[in-house]
Amino acid sequence: MIVDANETPGGLASTDVTPEGFLYDVGGHVIFSHYKYFDDCIDEALPNDDDWYTHQRISYVRCKGFWVPYPFQNNISMLPKEDQVKCIDGMIDAALEARVSNTKPKNFDEWIMRMMGSGVADLFMRPYNYKVWAVPTTKMQCEWLGERVAAPDVKRVTTNVILGKTAGNWGPNATFRFPARDGTGGIWIAVAKTLPDSKKRFGDHGSVTKVDADAKRVTLKDGTVVNYQKLINTMAVDSLVEKMGDKSLIDLSKGLFYSSTHVIGVGIRGARPENIGDKCWLYFPEDNCPFYRATIFSNYSPYNQPQKDVKLPTQQLADGSKPSSSEPKEGPYWSIMLEVSESSMKPVDGKNLLRDSIQGLINTEMIKPTDEIVSTYHRRFDHGYPTPSLEREGVLKQLLPALQAKDIWSRGRFGSWRYEVGNQDHSFMLGVEAADNIVNGAVELTLNYPDFVNGRQNTERRLVEGAQVFGKSKQKTVD
Protein backbone atom coordinates (compact mmCIF):
# COMPACT_ATOMS: atom_id res chain seq x y z
CA MET A 1 0.00 0.00 0.00
CA ILE A 2 1.19 3.53 -0.87
CA VAL A 3 0.41 6.15 1.78
CA ASP A 4 1.07 9.80 0.83
CA ALA A 5 0.00 12.98 2.64
CA ASN A 6 0.02 14.92 -0.67
CA GLU A 7 -3.29 15.15 -2.54
CA THR A 8 -1.57 13.99 -5.74
CA PRO A 9 1.42 11.73 -6.42
CA GLY A 10 4.85 13.23 -7.01
CA GLY A 11 6.00 14.84 -3.76
CA LEU A 12 8.80 17.28 -4.58
CA ALA A 13 8.39 16.36 -8.25
CA SER A 14 4.82 17.66 -8.49
CA THR A 15 3.33 20.61 -10.38
CA ASP A 16 0.99 23.44 -9.36
CA VAL A 17 -1.33 25.40 -11.66
CA THR A 18 -2.21 29.05 -10.96
CA PRO A 19 -5.81 30.28 -11.35
CA GLU A 20 -4.72 31.97 -14.60
CA GLY A 21 -3.41 28.67 -16.05
CA PHE A 22 0.36 28.93 -15.56
CA LEU A 23 2.16 25.73 -14.52
CA TYR A 24 5.06 25.66 -12.05
CA ASP A 25 7.03 22.64 -10.89
CA VAL A 26 8.39 22.33 -7.38
CA GLY A 27 11.75 23.70 -8.52
CA GLY A 28 13.77 23.10 -11.66
CA HIS A 29 13.03 19.52 -12.73
CA VAL A 30 14.05 17.97 -16.03
CA ILE A 31 14.29 14.34 -17.12
CA PHE A 32 17.79 12.96 -17.61
CA SER A 33 18.34 9.43 -16.43
CA HIS A 34 21.07 7.05 -15.29
CA TYR A 35 18.76 4.03 -15.47
CA LYS A 36 17.05 2.13 -18.27
CA TYR A 37 14.51 0.85 -15.74
CA PHE A 38 13.45 4.41 -14.92
CA ASP A 39 13.23 5.32 -18.62
CA ASP A 40 11.07 2.28 -19.35
CA CYS A 41 8.70 3.10 -16.51
CA ILE A 42 8.00 6.70 -17.48
CA ASP A 43 7.79 5.73 -21.17
CA GLU A 44 5.15 3.18 -20.24
CA ALA A 45 3.21 5.83 -18.32
CA LEU A 46 3.57 8.43 -21.12
CA PRO A 47 4.05 6.25 -24.22
CA ASN A 48 3.33 8.61 -27.13
CA ASP A 49 5.83 10.72 -29.06
CA ASP A 50 3.73 13.82 -28.46
CA ASP A 51 3.82 13.24 -24.70
CA TRP A 52 7.36 14.66 -24.57
CA TYR A 53 9.58 17.49 -25.74
CA THR A 54 13.35 17.01 -25.99
CA HIS A 55 15.61 20.02 -25.45
CA GLN A 56 19.26 20.89 -25.68
CA ARG A 57 20.21 22.64 -22.47
CA ILE A 58 20.92 26.35 -22.99
CA SER A 59 22.16 27.56 -19.65
CA TYR A 60 24.04 30.68 -18.50
CA VAL A 61 25.44 32.39 -15.41
CA ARG A 62 24.62 36.07 -14.92
CA CYS A 63 27.81 37.81 -13.79
CA LYS A 64 29.03 41.40 -14.04
CA GLY A 65 26.19 42.18 -16.43
CA PHE A 66 27.22 39.37 -18.84
CA TRP A 67 25.62 36.05 -19.69
CA VAL A 68 28.44 33.52 -19.21
CA PRO A 69 27.71 30.05 -20.69
CA TYR A 70 27.46 27.21 -18.17
CA PRO A 71 29.68 25.84 -16.70
CA PHE A 72 31.10 29.19 -15.60
CA GLN A 73 34.61 27.92 -14.84
CA ASN A 74 35.07 26.72 -18.44
CA ASN A 75 33.82 29.96 -20.01
CA ILE A 76 35.63 32.81 -18.28
CA SER A 77 36.53 34.10 -21.75
CA MET A 78 33.19 35.98 -21.56
CA LEU A 79 34.28 38.02 -18.53
CA PRO A 80 36.06 41.40 -18.42
CA LYS A 81 39.85 41.10 -18.88
CA GLU A 82 40.75 41.81 -15.26
CA ASP A 83 38.43 39.00 -14.10
CA GLN A 84 39.85 36.64 -16.71
CA VAL A 85 43.32 37.30 -15.27
CA LYS A 86 42.16 36.66 -11.68
CA CYS A 87 40.49 33.41 -12.69
CA ILE A 88 43.45 32.09 -14.71
CA ASP A 89 45.90 33.10 -11.97
CA GLY A 90 43.82 31.15 -9.48
CA MET A 91 43.51 28.10 -11.76
CA ILE A 92 47.29 27.98 -12.30
CA ASP A 93 47.93 28.27 -8.55
CA ALA A 94 45.38 25.51 -7.92
CA ALA A 95 46.92 23.25 -10.56
CA LEU A 96 50.40 23.71 -9.10
CA GLU A 97 49.11 23.08 -5.58
CA ALA A 98 47.26 19.93 -6.69
CA ARG A 99 50.48 18.48 -8.14
CA VAL A 100 52.31 18.58 -4.82
CA SER A 101 49.46 18.09 -2.35
CA ASN A 102 49.19 14.67 -0.72
CA THR A 103 46.01 15.35 1.26
CA LYS A 104 42.36 15.38 0.25
CA PRO A 105 40.28 18.56 0.65
CA LYS A 106 38.50 18.58 4.02
CA ASN A 107 35.41 20.46 2.86
CA PHE A 108 33.66 21.86 -0.21
CA ASP A 109 35.46 25.19 0.08
CA GLU A 110 38.87 23.51 0.03
CA TRP A 111 37.74 21.41 -2.94
CA ILE A 112 36.74 24.58 -4.84
CA MET A 113 40.10 26.21 -4.10
CA ARG A 114 42.01 23.05 -5.01
CA MET A 115 40.13 22.59 -8.31
CA MET A 116 39.47 26.16 -9.50
CA GLY A 117 41.47 28.64 -7.47
CA SER A 118 40.55 31.87 -5.73
CA GLY A 119 39.35 33.79 -8.82
CA VAL A 120 36.49 31.45 -9.75
CA ALA A 121 35.83 30.76 -6.06
CA ASP A 122 35.25 34.41 -5.16
CA LEU A 123 33.48 35.41 -8.36
CA PHE A 124 31.09 32.49 -8.67
CA MET A 125 31.46 29.27 -6.67
CA ARG A 126 31.33 30.67 -3.13
CA PRO A 127 28.52 33.22 -3.56
CA TYR A 128 26.45 30.97 -5.82
CA ASN A 129 26.68 27.90 -3.59
CA TYR A 130 25.81 29.96 -0.52
CA LYS A 131 22.68 31.16 -2.34
CA VAL A 132 21.77 27.55 -3.25
CA TRP A 133 22.58 25.70 -0.05
CA ALA A 134 21.99 28.51 2.44
CA VAL A 135 25.17 27.45 4.27
CA PRO A 136 28.78 28.54 3.70
CA THR A 137 30.89 26.21 1.54
CA THR A 138 33.22 25.69 4.53
CA LYS A 139 30.42 23.79 6.30
CA MET A 140 29.81 21.32 3.46
CA GLN A 141 31.67 18.09 2.68
CA CYS A 142 32.86 17.35 -0.87
CA GLU A 143 32.27 13.60 -1.29
CA TRP A 144 28.84 14.32 -2.82
CA LEU A 145 30.19 16.16 -5.88
CA GLY A 146 30.79 13.36 -8.41
CA GLU A 147 29.51 14.51 -11.81
CA ARG A 148 27.73 17.62 -10.55
CA VAL A 149 30.56 20.17 -10.78
CA ALA A 150 32.84 20.45 -13.81
CA ALA A 151 36.55 20.71 -13.05
CA PRO A 152 38.21 23.22 -15.40
CA ASP A 153 40.86 22.23 -17.94
CA VAL A 154 43.38 25.05 -17.45
CA LYS A 155 44.93 24.67 -20.91
CA ARG A 156 41.56 24.72 -22.65
CA VAL A 157 40.32 27.63 -20.56
CA THR A 158 43.46 29.64 -21.41
CA THR A 159 43.14 28.80 -25.10
CA ASN A 160 39.50 29.90 -25.10
CA VAL A 161 40.39 33.17 -23.37
CA ILE A 162 43.09 33.97 -25.93
CA LEU A 163 40.86 33.03 -28.89
CA GLY A 164 37.67 34.49 -27.41
CA LYS A 165 35.87 31.13 -27.58
CA THR A 166 33.43 29.37 -25.26
CA ALA A 167 33.41 25.72 -24.19
CA GLY A 168 30.74 23.28 -25.35
CA ASN A 169 27.94 21.68 -23.36
CA TRP A 170 28.89 19.63 -20.33
CA GLY A 171 27.17 17.35 -17.85
CA PRO A 172 24.52 14.65 -17.60
CA ASN A 173 21.64 16.99 -18.46
CA ALA A 174 23.09 18.57 -21.63
CA THR A 175 20.07 16.99 -23.35
CA PHE A 176 16.86 16.53 -21.39
CA ARG A 177 13.19 15.66 -21.79
CA PHE A 178 10.14 17.40 -20.42
CA PRO A 179 6.45 16.35 -20.47
CA ALA A 180 4.34 18.14 -23.04
CA ARG A 181 1.39 18.54 -20.65
CA ASP A 182 0.76 18.73 -16.90
CA GLY A 183 4.39 19.49 -15.96
CA THR A 184 6.71 17.12 -14.15
CA GLY A 185 3.91 16.16 -11.78
CA GLY A 186 1.97 14.75 -14.72
CA ILE A 187 4.57 11.97 -15.04
CA TRP A 188 3.95 10.68 -11.55
CA ILE A 189 0.17 11.03 -11.77
CA ALA A 190 0.38 8.86 -14.91
CA VAL A 191 2.67 6.34 -13.17
CA ALA A 192 0.33 6.16 -10.16
CA LYS A 193 -2.63 5.44 -12.46
CA THR A 194 -0.99 2.13 -13.37
CA LEU A 195 -1.46 0.98 -9.73
CA PRO A 196 -4.72 -0.37 -8.23
CA ASP A 197 -6.82 2.23 -6.37
CA SER A 198 -7.21 -0.10 -3.39
CA LYS A 199 -3.46 0.19 -2.76
CA LYS A 200 -3.28 4.01 -2.73
CA ARG A 201 -4.19 6.55 -0.02
CA PHE A 202 -3.58 10.27 -0.65
CA GLY A 203 -4.21 13.52 1.22
CA ASP A 204 -5.76 13.30 4.70
CA HIS A 205 -6.40 9.58 4.09
CA GLY A 206 -2.65 9.14 3.59
CA SER A 207 -1.31 11.48 6.29
CA VAL A 208 0.74 9.63 8.92
CA THR A 209 0.41 10.70 12.55
CA LYS A 210 2.32 7.88 14.28
CA VAL A 211 4.70 5.05 13.41
CA ASP A 212 4.93 2.26 16.01
CA ALA A 213 8.07 0.42 14.90
CA ASP A 214 7.83 -2.23 17.64
CA ALA A 215 4.24 -3.18 16.80
CA LYS A 216 4.83 -2.53 13.07
CA ARG A 217 1.80 -0.30 12.85
CA VAL A 218 1.18 3.07 11.17
CA THR A 219 -1.66 5.33 12.33
CA LEU A 220 -3.16 7.73 9.79
CA LYS A 221 -4.87 11.08 10.31
CA ASP A 222 -8.33 9.64 9.63
CA GLY A 223 -7.85 7.02 12.34
CA THR A 224 -6.98 4.14 10.04
CA VAL A 225 -4.32 1.77 11.35
CA VAL A 226 -2.13 0.06 8.75
CA ASN A 227 -0.13 -2.98 9.81
CA TYR A 228 3.05 -3.83 7.92
CA GLN A 229 5.87 -6.33 7.79
CA LYS A 230 8.42 -4.14 5.97
CA LEU A 231 8.12 -0.38 5.61
CA ILE A 232 9.74 1.76 2.89
CA ASN A 233 9.71 5.33 4.16
CA THR A 234 10.09 8.33 1.86
CA MET A 235 9.08 11.15 4.20
CA ALA A 236 11.98 13.20 5.56
CA VAL A 237 13.84 10.93 7.95
CA ASP A 238 13.88 13.59 10.70
CA SER A 239 10.06 13.72 10.47
CA LEU A 240 9.87 9.92 10.53
CA VAL A 241 11.78 9.54 13.79
CA GLU A 242 9.60 12.27 15.36
CA LYS A 243 6.50 10.22 14.46
CA MET A 244 8.21 7.14 15.89
CA GLY A 245 8.84 9.00 19.15
CA ASP A 246 12.29 7.41 19.46
CA LYS A 247 14.35 9.89 21.52
CA SER A 248 17.75 8.44 20.62
CA LEU A 249 17.00 8.56 16.88
CA ILE A 250 15.47 12.03 17.20
CA ASP A 251 18.65 13.27 18.89
CA LEU A 252 20.74 11.62 16.18
CA SER A 253 18.69 13.17 13.35
CA LYS A 254 19.34 16.66 14.74
CA GLY A 255 22.80 16.39 13.18
CA LEU A 256 21.22 16.57 9.71
CA PHE A 257 20.91 19.98 8.05
CA TYR A 258 18.54 21.07 5.28
CA SER A 259 17.37 24.21 3.53
CA SER A 260 13.87 25.30 2.61
CA THR A 261 12.97 26.29 -0.94
CA HIS A 262 10.74 29.14 -2.09
CA VAL A 263 9.39 28.61 -5.61
CA ILE A 264 8.22 31.84 -7.26
CA GLY A 265 6.47 32.10 -10.60
CA VAL A 266 5.87 35.16 -12.77
CA GLY A 267 3.54 35.03 -15.77
CA ILE A 268 4.02 37.84 -18.28
CA ARG A 269 2.04 39.07 -21.26
CA GLY A 270 3.94 39.69 -24.46
CA ALA A 271 6.36 38.02 -26.82
CA ARG A 272 9.38 36.36 -25.24
CA PRO A 273 12.25 38.90 -25.31
CA GLU A 274 15.24 38.34 -27.61
CA ASN A 275 17.69 38.23 -24.71
CA ILE A 276 15.69 35.33 -23.23
CA GLY A 277 15.47 33.36 -26.48
CA ASP A 278 15.67 29.58 -25.99
CA LYS A 279 17.39 29.77 -22.60
CA CYS A 280 16.48 26.94 -20.23
CA TRP A 281 17.78 27.72 -16.77
CA LEU A 282 20.06 30.47 -15.51
CA TYR A 283 22.29 30.94 -12.46
CA PHE A 284 22.66 34.09 -10.34
CA PRO A 285 25.61 34.31 -7.92
CA GLU A 286 25.34 38.05 -7.26
CA ASP A 287 23.34 39.88 -4.59
CA ASN A 288 21.26 42.01 -6.97
CA CYS A 289 18.50 39.37 -6.84
CA PRO A 290 17.31 36.96 -4.11
CA PHE A 291 17.04 33.92 -6.40
CA TYR A 292 19.89 31.58 -7.27
CA ARG A 293 18.24 30.05 -10.31
CA ALA A 294 15.65 31.06 -12.89
CA THR A 295 13.95 28.67 -15.28
CA ILE A 296 12.22 29.96 -18.42
CA PHE A 297 9.40 27.52 -17.80
CA SER A 298 7.42 28.56 -20.86
CA ASN A 299 10.32 27.33 -23.05
CA TYR A 300 9.89 23.73 -21.83
CA SER A 301 6.40 23.29 -23.28
CA PRO A 302 3.84 25.55 -24.99
CA TYR A 303 1.28 24.09 -22.57
CA ASN A 304 3.04 25.44 -19.47
CA GLN A 305 1.13 28.71 -19.86
CA PRO A 306 -2.25 29.83 -21.26
CA GLN A 307 -2.66 29.86 -25.01
CA LYS A 308 -2.48 33.17 -26.88
CA ASP A 309 -6.25 33.63 -27.26
CA VAL A 310 -6.91 33.42 -23.50
CA LYS A 311 -7.82 36.86 -22.13
CA LEU A 312 -6.28 37.83 -18.79
CA PRO A 313 -6.22 41.16 -16.93
CA THR A 314 -2.88 42.74 -16.04
CA GLN A 315 -2.36 42.44 -12.27
CA GLN A 316 0.54 44.90 -12.10
CA LEU A 317 3.46 46.25 -14.05
CA ALA A 318 6.84 44.81 -13.13
CA ASP A 319 7.85 48.02 -11.31
CA GLY A 320 4.87 47.54 -8.99
CA SER A 321 2.70 50.27 -10.51
CA LYS A 322 -0.93 49.76 -11.48
CA PRO A 323 -1.80 49.06 -15.13
CA SER A 324 -3.61 51.72 -17.15
CA SER A 325 -6.46 49.26 -17.77
CA SER A 326 -7.83 46.25 -15.90
CA GLU A 327 -9.62 44.90 -18.97
CA PRO A 328 -8.67 41.30 -19.84
CA LYS A 329 -6.57 41.05 -23.01
CA GLU A 330 -5.11 38.27 -25.11
CA GLY A 331 -1.53 37.00 -24.95
CA PRO A 332 0.93 35.70 -25.98
CA TYR A 333 2.29 34.72 -22.57
CA TRP A 334 5.59 33.49 -21.19
CA SER A 335 6.74 32.59 -17.70
CA ILE A 336 9.74 32.50 -15.37
CA MET A 337 10.14 30.20 -12.38
CA LEU A 338 12.54 31.28 -9.61
CA GLU A 339 14.08 29.45 -6.66
CA VAL A 340 15.22 31.02 -3.38
CA SER A 341 16.81 29.09 -0.50
CA GLU A 342 16.26 29.71 3.21
CA SER A 343 17.85 28.31 6.36
CA SER A 344 18.75 29.29 9.90
CA MET A 345 22.04 30.60 8.43
CA LYS A 346 20.31 32.45 5.57
CA PRO A 347 16.93 33.92 6.55
CA VAL A 348 14.70 35.56 3.91
CA ASP A 349 11.95 38.18 4.02
CA GLY A 350 9.15 35.82 3.04
CA LYS A 351 6.46 38.49 3.14
CA ASN A 352 8.20 40.62 0.49
CA LEU A 353 9.98 37.86 -1.41
CA LEU A 354 7.71 37.97 -4.46
CA ARG A 355 8.15 41.75 -4.76
CA ASP A 356 11.93 41.48 -4.26
CA SER A 357 12.18 38.68 -6.82
CA ILE A 358 10.35 40.71 -9.47
CA GLN A 359 12.74 43.59 -8.76
CA GLY A 360 15.61 41.09 -9.10
CA LEU A 361 14.31 40.16 -12.55
CA ILE A 362 14.46 43.84 -13.51
CA ASN A 363 17.94 44.24 -11.98
CA THR A 364 19.28 41.31 -14.03
CA GLU A 365 17.58 42.57 -17.22
CA MET A 366 15.33 39.52 -17.49
CA ILE A 367 12.24 41.73 -17.68
CA LYS A 368 11.53 45.44 -18.15
CA PRO A 369 9.88 47.69 -15.51
CA THR A 370 6.89 48.19 -17.85
CA ASP A 371 6.24 44.47 -18.51
CA GLU A 372 2.67 43.36 -17.78
CA ILE A 373 2.45 40.68 -15.09
CA VAL A 374 -0.74 38.65 -15.39
CA SER A 375 -0.06 35.91 -12.84
CA THR A 376 2.17 35.32 -9.79
CA TYR A 377 2.91 32.26 -7.69
CA HIS A 378 4.80 31.76 -4.42
CA ARG A 379 5.03 28.60 -2.36
CA ARG A 380 7.49 27.59 0.36
CA PHE A 381 8.65 23.99 0.71
CA ASP A 382 10.07 23.37 4.17
CA HIS A 383 12.41 20.55 3.13
CA GLY A 384 13.96 21.65 -0.16
CA TYR A 385 17.60 20.53 -0.25
CA PRO A 386 19.20 17.83 1.95
CA THR A 387 22.51 19.51 2.72
CA PRO A 388 25.73 17.48 2.35
CA SER A 389 27.01 18.91 5.63
CA LEU A 390 30.24 17.86 7.30
CA GLU A 391 28.22 15.93 9.90
CA ARG A 392 25.94 14.11 7.42
CA GLU A 393 27.78 10.82 6.93
CA GLY A 394 28.38 10.35 10.64
CA VAL A 395 24.62 10.62 11.22
CA LEU A 396 23.46 8.51 8.28
CA LYS A 397 25.87 5.65 9.00
CA GLN A 398 24.11 5.21 12.34
CA LEU A 399 20.56 6.33 11.55
CA LEU A 400 19.75 4.34 8.39
CA PRO A 401 21.01 0.96 9.73
CA ALA A 402 19.19 1.58 13.06
CA LEU A 403 15.94 2.06 11.14
CA GLN A 404 16.59 -0.95 8.91
CA ALA A 405 17.12 -3.07 12.02
CA LYS A 406 13.51 -2.17 12.82
CA ASP A 407 12.41 -3.24 9.27
CA ILE A 408 12.18 0.35 8.03
CA TRP A 409 14.00 1.15 4.77
CA SER A 410 14.24 4.96 4.72
CA ARG A 411 14.88 6.02 1.12
CA GLY A 412 14.34 8.93 -1.28
CA ARG A 413 15.55 12.52 -1.48
CA PHE A 414 14.98 13.16 2.23
CA GLY A 415 14.39 9.59 3.35
CA SER A 416 18.05 8.70 2.84
CA TRP A 417 19.27 12.36 2.83
CA ARG A 418 21.88 11.93 0.09
CA TYR A 419 21.61 14.83 -2.35
CA GLU A 420 23.96 13.16 -4.85
CA VAL A 421 21.29 10.50 -5.40
CA GLY A 422 18.29 12.78 -4.85
CA ASN A 423 17.07 13.48 -8.40
CA GLN A 424 13.87 11.96 -9.75
CA ASP A 425 15.56 8.96 -11.35
CA HIS A 426 17.64 8.29 -8.24
CA SER A 427 14.69 8.65 -5.87
CA PHE A 428 12.58 6.32 -7.99
CA MET A 429 15.34 3.70 -8.16
CA LEU A 430 15.99 3.95 -4.41
CA GLY A 431 12.44 2.64 -4.06
CA VAL A 432 12.86 -0.05 -6.71
CA GLU A 433 16.10 -1.26 -5.17
CA ALA A 434 14.70 -1.19 -1.62
CA ALA A 435 11.81 -3.39 -2.75
CA ASP A 436 14.26 -5.74 -4.49
CA ASN A 437 16.41 -5.85 -1.36
CA ILE A 438 13.40 -6.74 0.78
CA VAL A 439 12.11 -9.41 -1.62
CA ASN A 440 15.32 -11.11 -2.70
CA GLY A 441 18.27 -9.46 -0.98
CA ALA A 442 19.45 -7.56 -4.07
CA VAL A 443 22.21 -4.98 -3.68
CA GLU A 444 21.00 -1.38 -3.26
CA LEU A 445 23.42 0.23 -5.69
CA THR A 446 22.01 3.76 -5.67
CA LEU A 447 22.10 4.15 -1.89
CA ASN A 448 25.47 2.52 -1.33
CA TYR A 449 27.45 3.33 -4.50
CA PRO A 450 26.42 6.83 -5.72
CA ASP A 451 29.58 7.34 -7.78
CA PHE A 452 29.00 4.01 -9.53
CA VAL A 453 25.42 4.75 -10.63
CA ASN A 454 26.23 8.37 -11.54
CA GLY A 455 29.28 7.42 -13.57
CA ARG A 456 27.47 5.63 -16.37
CA GLN A 457 24.15 4.85 -18.02
CA ASN A 458 22.94 2.00 -15.84
CA THR A 459 21.62 -0.52 -18.38
CA GLU A 460 21.42 -3.50 -16.02
CA ARG A 461 18.03 -3.70 -14.36
CA ARG A 462 19.29 -4.75 -10.94
CA LEU A 463 21.98 -6.83 -9.34
CA VAL A 464 21.13 -9.99 -7.39
CA GLU A 465 22.22 -10.97 -3.91
CA GLY A 466 25.93 -11.59 -3.64
CA ALA A 467 26.84 -9.64 -6.78
CA GLN A 468 30.27 -8.03 -6.63
CA VAL A 469 29.91 -4.38 -7.55
CA PHE A 470 33.56 -3.63 -8.07
CA GLY A 471 36.35 -5.69 -9.57
CA LYS A 472 35.06 -9.24 -9.52
CA SER A 473 32.20 -11.07 -11.20
CA LYS A 474 29.01 -9.15 -11.71
CA GLN A 475 25.84 -11.21 -12.05
CA LYS A 476 22.85 -9.79 -13.89
CA THR A 477 19.23 -10.60 -13.26
CA VAL A 478 16.62 -10.93 -15.95
CA ASP A 479 14.24 -8.01 -16.51
> How much is the pLDDT for 383?
95
- Cα-to-chain-centroid distance, residue 44: 24
CB of 74 within 8 A of CB of 157?
yes
pLDDT score of 180: 94
Query: Highest mean pLDDT: which of 100-114, 255-269, 442-456?
Result: 255-269
Q: Where in the chain is the domain with CATH 3.50.50.60?
A: 2-52+177-257+390-454
Q: What gap in Å lies between CA 450 and CA 372, rounded to an integer?
A: 45
The CATH number of the domain covering residues in 259-386: 3.30.9
Q: Where in the chain is the domain with CATH 3.30.9?
A: 259-386
- CATH level 3 topology of 2-52+177-257+390-454: FAD/NAD(P)-binding domain (3.50.50)
At residue 437, the pLDDT reads 96
Residue 220: is its pLDDT beyond 60? yes
Banded pLDDT at 189 (limits 50, 70, 90): very high
> Can you tell me the distance from the alpha carbon of 319 to that of 230, in angstroms, rounded to the nearest whole number?
55
* Alpha helices per DSSP H over 122-263: 126-133, 154-163, 183-192, 237-244, 247-253
Sequential DSSP letters for 116-153: HHHHHIIIIIHHHHHHHHSS-GGGB-STT-TTSSPPP-
pLDDT at 474: 37
Task: State the DSSP code for 204.
Answer: G
Nearest by Cα to 205 from 7, 381, 9, 14: 7
- With cut-offs at 50, 70 and 90, classify the pLDDT of residue 146: low
Average model confidence (pLDDT) across the chain: 89
Residue 143 has pLDDT above 90, yes or no: no
What average pLDDT does this structure show over 239-257? Answer: 96
Percent pLDDT > 90 in the chain is 73
> pLDDT by residue (tens digit) across 378-405?
999 999 999 999 999 999 999 999 999 9
Q: What is the mean pLDDT of residues 126-148?
A: 87
Does the structure show a pLDDT above 80 at 300? yes
